[in-house]
């Protein structure tokens, strides 16, 4: 072509995922388009039509419905449609109608498929499930923050420091232990004569399978090893290792290069790649003797968050780290209180509520906690002790920066410092009479986690509550309806709806409109499944396994949570770096087109799942 | 005038007989569809010229852009753009409009080289232009001068269609309201900023699609309903 269609090229170049294509390719793509015009109300694609093009909205808007009439998506300027059909042999499964007079560019299907084959990042965008797309987007976004040691960009192969230490399956347990001692390692790999990996044996196996079981030391190691262990390839990322380890609660992973054993990655290796400051910080907190001292130690939390974000840690991990620090402060304050007031007269357990309980704290936030006492509690005899005890701890937390809960959800509030039988009554009442106040309390107290004390008290309470909620359709329907009260900020045309006016004018509220809706959804699924876990991602996993949410739905929500949370953390890190207070309000100007597109995907997922929940529980009838 | 006596179809046949073998004879050898054909079965060629002035007898074509319109789509992949070297320097006042200066055009082939390519693109297709008098006048004059016979073909003029629409709605036609971009805006079409012949041709083609989509006919309009003369 003698002169390029510069304006057409420039248009597609500013829209995702075309922005991922090289400039020369973009010119070529522009030259292969066709322009069509569709008037408002026209059916662009009918179900069963043969679709031969990828469509890009130049001006106007269209919407897609599935055969049952449910709205799937609205597409505006720069967005594509027809993809599903193109990826499934060309037959349209959904219909597309024109919402506004539209000029639509059409790229021949063959060109689309060529681009997908040649440009992987471009292909990722069009992967069938929005979730997949988001997942690749996340990976891509993380890879872009170059210059830092990065879980998403470092290969396991680069981490291996020494050749793998192996033993044969017939080695005795005693010889195995001796080798571990001489080599100073916490695990050994078991290989057969051909050098093929058949098992792994760790320190922990020695404790729990040998000593605890009183096995003879002459028995072969094959009797205590973990046979056919999980493994990864040298090309896999550090991130994959971290995921696999945390999902399976293991600390050692054999790594193979081209099918040959190349070494072992341990959780210690992973921790060392990140900053070790979180561990130092925990130790530091335990050394302090006053709340003021702890406050000084905790001042490092914003810096730590910054470091973790930079090193590519996931939002999930960061939430765990920050919440663990809050736990540490709480536990230390209780130890100090005991020193002053003497040992507690009856068993109790201190429970964290809200985001600390869910392991989802980002920065130090308000304190949410309560106290669960043994049923031998006698206010006359024990009331004074526990009042003083909880007051000391809550005051201490306030000094540390976990300010008093405005709703008084704190152990120092008498109502939330009660014996087991009273707590059971509370829950029974909330579940049987789900008025708005009850639902509010339920949302707070269904996210509970024991921090210190007699855990069995808590397990007793939890078991009785879950037994009652599981299958209680009416209560769950109210919880579902409550979960729909906050909607993602997506407008009619799939545009982002910004906060108007006030201090946060023209921003997106990532917490209340992005993260909270997902947390609320996960809580309903988990209660329906009778799941004990409280962390949002854990809840989604468990609920998926129990069948209270679809597999795809759970995966998509997981990614949406991860994406929005990561975006929020990065935003907060930027604010901290600029010496501003971390908040949840992000301006669209801070986002690249790429991030905006992913954020819209994430919000769409939430919206879709809220719609599904509304249908499942018929919340419209309440 | 020949075609007023015997009709355009017959006049084209006579011109085909009279032409010596060459690009114009080849052009006339292929007929475009009859006037009762539904518009979507007709192939169109959106076309735009840039000239050194407005008088076809004196001024010269310096740039020709075009893009086929087929089955309701403007096909970019078959679009074309040719510059033609004028015999005289480009007057400053027209250079301001299209941004083509003498040095751009020095390397271009003369119009006699470009014209046959344009005729090939026009073959069997009904031309579409915004304010088609320019294209009609200049292409006809060029064919007479360089190939010995007139270029006789009915045009779709998107400006005239637009004028008809506005008159029917009894809107007052303000100054500039019929310009390509002003007309496009009424159909929610994007504003193309560049002023080059190919993009203007594509722009006219898209406007044509929009105008047809908004014609409130029960059946898809026939060719004679979109042709303006």
pLDDT digits (tens, 9 = 90+) for A531-544: 889 999 999 999 99
Contacts by residues A292-300 (CB-CB < 8 Å, ≥ 24 positions apart): A292/A399, A294/A329, A294/A332, A294/A333, A294/A396, A294/A399, A294/A400, A295/A399, A295/A400, A295/A401, A298/A325, A298/A329, A298/A364, A298/A400, A298/A401
More confident residue, B170 or A239: B170
pLDDT value of residue A243? 66
CB < 8 Å to A82, chain B: none
Considering the domain architecture, whether residues A247 and A300 belong to the same structural domain is answered as no
Q: What are the tokens at B146?
A: 């360089």
Q: Which of A440, A469, A498 is the last residue of a domain?
A: A469
Does B190 sit within 8 Å of A34, measured CB to CB? no
Beta strand ranges found along chain B (DSSP E): 44-51, 61-70, 73-75, 80-83, 126-129, 156-157
A381-390, B128-137, B178-187, B189-198: which has the minimum mean pLDDT?
Answer: B189-198
Range of the domain at A520: 480-621
Residue A431 belongs to some domain of the structure: yes
Residue A415 exposure: Cα atoms within 13 Å on the Cβ side: 7
Q: Which of A230, A252, A272 is the last residue of a domain?
A: A272
**How does DSSP classify residue A41?**
T
Is residue A171's pLDDT more than 50?
yes
**Which CATH number covers residue B191?**
3.30.420.10
Q: Minimal Cα–Cα distance from A599 to chain B, Å? A: 26
Range of the domain at B72: 32-226
The model's pLDDT over A216-274, given as tens digits with 9 standing for 90+, comes to 889 999 999 998 898 988 888 776 777 677 667 788 999 998 888 999 988 777 766 55
Residue A141 belongs to some domain of the structure: no
Residue A354 belongs to some domain of the structure: yes
**Which CATH number covers residue A267?**
3.10.580.10
Average pLDDT over residues A578-595: 82
Does B82 sit within 8 Å of A32, measured CB to CB? no
Q: What is the total count of domains within chain A?
A: 4
Q: Minimal Cα–Cα distance from B186 to chain A, Å? A: 10
Average pLDDT over residues B171-178: 80
pLDDT value of residue A274? 54
Residue A137 belongs to some domain of the structure: no
Is residue B74's pLDDT more than 80?
yes
Is residue B2's pLDDT more than 60?
no
Considering the domain architecture, whether residues A60 and A183 belong to the same structural domain is answered as no
Dihedral angle sign, alpha carbons of residues B158, B161, B163, B169: negative
Give CA–CA dist B206/B184, Å, rounded: 8
- Place A448 in a pLDDT band, splitting at 50, 70 and 90: very high
Does A106 sit within 8 Å of B73, measured CB to CB? yes
More confident residue, B204 or A594: B204
Residue B25 belongs to some domain of the structure: no
Chain-wide mean pLDDT for chain A? Answer: 85
Smallest Cβ–Cβ distance between A5 and the set B76, B190, B206 belongs to B76
Average pLDDT over residues A30-50: 93
Q: In which element (H, E) is residue A43 found?
A: strand A43-45
pLDDT value of residue A1? 41
Residue A136 belongs to some domain of the structure: no
Is residue B88's pLDDT more than 80?
yes
Count helices and strands in chain B by DSSP H and E runs = 11, 6
Smallest Cβ–Cβ distance between B199 and the set A5, A31, A100 belongs to A5
Considering the domain architecture, whether residues A493 and A591 belong to the same structural domain is answered as yes
Let me know: does B56 contact B150? Beta carbons within 8 Å: no
Smallest Cβ–Cβ distance between B188 and the set A3, A59, A106 belongs to A59
Residue A284 belongs to some domain of the structure: yes
Considering the domain architecture, whether residues A286 and A267 belong to the same structural domain is answered as no
Residue B20 belongs to some domain of the structure: no
The model's pLDDT over A481-522, given as tens digits with 9 standing for 90+, comes to 888 888 888 876 667 777 777 788 788 899 999 999 999 999
pLDDT value of residue A311? 62
Considering the domain architecture, whether residues A304 and A420 belong to the same structural domain is answered as yes
Considering the domain architecture, whether residues A29 and A59 belong to the same structural domain is answered as yes
Give CA–CA dist A77/A102, Å, rounded: 9
Considering the domain architecture, whether residues A423 and A285 belong to the same structural domain is answered as yes
My answer on whether omega of the bond before A457 falls inside 30° of 0, hence cis, is: no
- Place A139 in a pLDDT band, splitting at 50, 70 and 90: very low
A62-66, A275-279, A466-470, A567-571: which has the minimum mean pLDDT?
Answer: A275-279
Q: What are the tokens at A311?
A: 């090193």
pLDDT value of residue A410? 95
Q: What is the DSSP string of B61-82?
A: EEEEEEEEEETTEEEGGG-EEE
pLDDT value of residue A239? 66
Q: Which residues, in sequence order, are CB contacts of A201 under 8 Å at separation 6+?
A: A176, A187, A188, A190, A221, A224, A225, A226
| Strand A166-167 relative to strand A53-65, pairing | unpaired
Considering the domain architecture, whether residues A443 and A351 belong to the same structural domain is answered as yes
Q: What is the total count of domains within chain B?
A: 1
Smallest Cβ–Cβ distance between B189 and the set A33, A39, A59 belongs to A59
- Tell me how far the alpha carbon of residue A525 is from its chain's centroid: 16
Does A6 sit within 8 Å of B188, measured CB to CB? no
Considering the domain architecture, whether residues A110 and A204 belong to the same structural domain is answered as no
Q: What is the DSSP string of A283-299?
A: HHHHH--SHHHHHHHHT
Residue B163 belongs to some domain of the structure: yes
Does B202 sit within 8 Å of A35, measured CB to CB? yes
Residue A474 belongs to some domain of the structure: no
**How does DSSP classify residue A159?**
G
Residue A133 belongs to some domain of the structure: no
Dihedral angle sign, alpha carbons of residues A579, A583, A585, A588: positive
- DSSP-based three-state secondary structure for B127: strand
ipTM of the complex: 0.91
Dihedral of CA atoms A22, A27, A33, A35 in degrees, nearest 10, equals: 120
Q: Which of A243, A249, A302 is nearest to A278 (CA)?
A: A302
Average pLDDT over residues B26-30: 91
- DSSP-based three-state secondary structure for A349: strand
Residue B126 belongs to some domain of the structure: yes
Considering the domain architecture, whether residues A213 and A179 belong to the same structural domain is answered as yes
pLDDT value of residue B97? 62
Taking only Cα atoms into account, the Rg of chain A, rounded to an integer number of angstroms, comes to 28
Smallest Cβ–Cβ distance between B192 and the set A7, A31, A101 belongs to A7
Sole residue written with tokens 């066709």: A34
Q: Which of A469, A490, A521 is the last residue of a domain?
A: A469
Residue B22 belongs to some domain of the structure: no
Considering the domain architecture, whether residues A292 and A430 belong to the same structural domain is answered as yes
Residue B12 belongs to some domain of the structure: no
Is residue A57's pLDDT more than 80?
yes
List the strands of the sheet with A166-167, edge to edge: A166-167, A187-191, A197-202, A226-227
Residue B216 belongs to some domain of the structure: yes
The model's pLDDT over A342-361, given as tens digits with 9 standing for 90+, comes to 999 999 999 999 999 999 99
Is residue A425's pLDDT more than 80?
yes
Residue B67 belongs to some domain of the structure: yes
More confident residue, A143 or B52: B52
Give CA–CA dist A226/A230, Å, rounded: 9
Q: Which of A312, A324, A314 is nearest to A561 (CA)?
A: A314
pLDDT value of residue A350? 96
Is residue A121's pLDDT more than 80?
no
- Place B139 in a pLDDT band, splitting at 50, 70 and 90: very high
Does B189 sit within 8 Å of A7, measured CB to CB? no
Angle between helices A593-617 and A516-529 (to 10 degrees): 40
Q: Which of A108, A172, A140 is nearest to A17 (CA)?
A: A140
pLDDT value of residue B66? 97
Beta strand ranges found along A389-515 (DSSP E): 417-419, 448-453, 508-509
Q: Minimal Cα–Cα distance from B202 to chain A, Å? A: 9
Chain A CA closest to residue B192: A7
Considering the domain architecture, whether residues A92 and A174 belong to the same structural domain is answered as no
Is residue B163's pLDDT more than 70?
yes
Residues of A with CB under 8 A from a CB of B: 1-3, 5-8, 11, 30-39, 42, 58-60, 100-103, 106
């Amino acid at each position: 072509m003698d002169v390029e269609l510069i304006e057409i090229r420039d248009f597609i170049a500013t829209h995702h995922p075309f922005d991922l294509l090289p400039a020369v390719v973009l010119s070529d793509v522009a030259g292969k388009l066709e322009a069509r015009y569709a008037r408002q109300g026209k059916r662009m694609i009918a179900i069963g039509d043969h679709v031969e093009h990828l469509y890009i909205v130049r001006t106007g808007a269209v919407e897609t419905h599935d055969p049952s009439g449910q709205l799937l998506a609205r597409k505006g300027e720069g967005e594509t449609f027809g993809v599903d059909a193109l990826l499934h042999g060309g037959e349209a499964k959904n219909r597309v109608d024109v919402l506004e007079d539209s000029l639509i560019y059409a790229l021949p299907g063959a060109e689309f498929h060529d681009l997908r084959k040649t440009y992987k990042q471009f292909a990722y965008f069009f992967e069938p499930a929005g979730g997949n797309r988001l997942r690749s987007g996340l990976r891509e976004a993380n890879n872009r923050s170059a210059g830092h040691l990065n879980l998403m960009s470092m290969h396991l192969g680069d981490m291996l420091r020494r050749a793998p230490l192996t033993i044969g399956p017939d080695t005795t347990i005693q010889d195995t232990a001796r080798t571990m001692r001489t080599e100073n390692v916490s695990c050994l790999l078991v290989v057969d004569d051909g050098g093929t990996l058949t098992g792994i044996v760790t320190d922990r196996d020695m404790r729990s399978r040998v000593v605890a079981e009183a096995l003879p030391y002459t028995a072969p190691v094959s009797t205590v090893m973990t046979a056919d262990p999980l493994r990864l390839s040298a090309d896999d990322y550090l991130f994959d290792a971290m995921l696999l380890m945390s999902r399976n609660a293991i600390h050692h992973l054999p790594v193979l290069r081209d099918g040959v054993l190349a070494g072992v990655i341990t959780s210690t290796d992973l921790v060392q790649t990140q900053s070790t400051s979180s561990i130092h910080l925990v130790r530091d907190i335990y050394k302090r003797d006053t709340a003021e001292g702890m406050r000084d130690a905790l001042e490092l939390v914003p810096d730590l968050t910054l470091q973790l974000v930079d090193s590519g840690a996931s939002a999930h991990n960061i939430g765990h780290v920050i919440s663990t620090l809050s736990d540490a402060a709480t536990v230390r304050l209780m130890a100090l209180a005991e020193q002053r007031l003497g040992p507690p007269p009856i068993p109790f357990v201190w429970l964290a509520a809200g985001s600390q309980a869910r392991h989802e704290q980002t920065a130090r936030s308000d304190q949410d906690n309560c106290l669960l006492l043994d049923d031998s509690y006698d206010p006359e005899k024990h009331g004074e002790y526990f009042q003083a005890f909880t007051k000391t701890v809550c005051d201490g937390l306030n000094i540390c920066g976990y300010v008093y809960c405005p709703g008084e959800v704190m152990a120092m509030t008498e109502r939330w410092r009660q014996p087991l039988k009273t707590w059971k009554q509370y829950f029974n009442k909330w579940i049987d009479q789900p008025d708005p106040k009850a639902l509010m309390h339920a949302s707070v107290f269904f996210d509970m986690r024991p921090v210190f004390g007699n855990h069995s008290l808590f397990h007793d309470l939890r078991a009785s509550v879950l037994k009652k909620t599981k299958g209680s359709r009416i209560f769950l329907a109210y919880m579902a309806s409550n979960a729909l009260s906050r909607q993602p900020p997506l407008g009619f045309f799939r545009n982002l709806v910004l906060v108007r006016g006030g201090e946060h004018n023209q921003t997106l509220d990532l917490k209340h409109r992005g993260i909270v809706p997902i947390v609320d959804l996960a809580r309903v699924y988990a209660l329906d499944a009778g799941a004990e876990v409280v962390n949002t991602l854990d809840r989604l996993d468990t609920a998926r396994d129990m069948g209270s949410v679809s597999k795809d739905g759970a995966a998509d929500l997981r990614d949406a949570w991860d994406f929005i949370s990561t975006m929020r953390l990065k935003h907060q890190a930027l604010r901290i770096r600029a010496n501003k207070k971390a908040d949840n309000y992000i301006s669209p100007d801070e986002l690249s087109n790429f991030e905006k597109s992913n954020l819209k995907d994430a919000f769409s997922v939430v919206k879709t799942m809220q719609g599904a929940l509304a249908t499942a529980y018929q919340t419209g009838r309440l | 005038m020949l075609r007023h006596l015997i009709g355009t179809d017959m006049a084209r046949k006579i011109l085909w007989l009279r032409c010596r073998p060459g690009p114009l004879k080849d052009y006339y050898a292929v007929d475009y569809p009859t006037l009762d054909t539904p518009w979507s079965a007709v192939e169109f060629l959106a076309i735009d010229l840039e000239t050194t002035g407005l008088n076809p007898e004196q001024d010269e074509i310096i740039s020709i852009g075009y893009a086929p319109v087929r089955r309701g789509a403007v096909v970019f992949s078959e679009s074309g753009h040719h510059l033609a070297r004028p015999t005289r320097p480009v007057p400053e006042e027209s250079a301001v409009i299209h941004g083509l200066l003498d040095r751009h055009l020095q390397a271009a082939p003369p119009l006699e080289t470009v014209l046959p390519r344009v005729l090939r693109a026009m073959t069997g297709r009904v031309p579409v232009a915004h304010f088609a008098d320019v294209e009609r006048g200049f292409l006809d004059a060029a064919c007479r001068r360089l190939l010995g016979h007139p270029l006789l073909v009915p045009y779709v003029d998107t400006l005239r269609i637009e004028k008809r629409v506005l008159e029917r709605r009894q809107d007052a036609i303000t100054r500039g309201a019929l310009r390509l971009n002003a007309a496009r805006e009424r159909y929610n079409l994007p504003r193309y900023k560049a002023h080059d012949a190919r993009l203007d041709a594509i722009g006219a083609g898209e406007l044509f699609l929009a105008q047809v989509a908004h014609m409130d006919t029960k059946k898809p309009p026939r060719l004679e309903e979109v042709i303006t003369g």
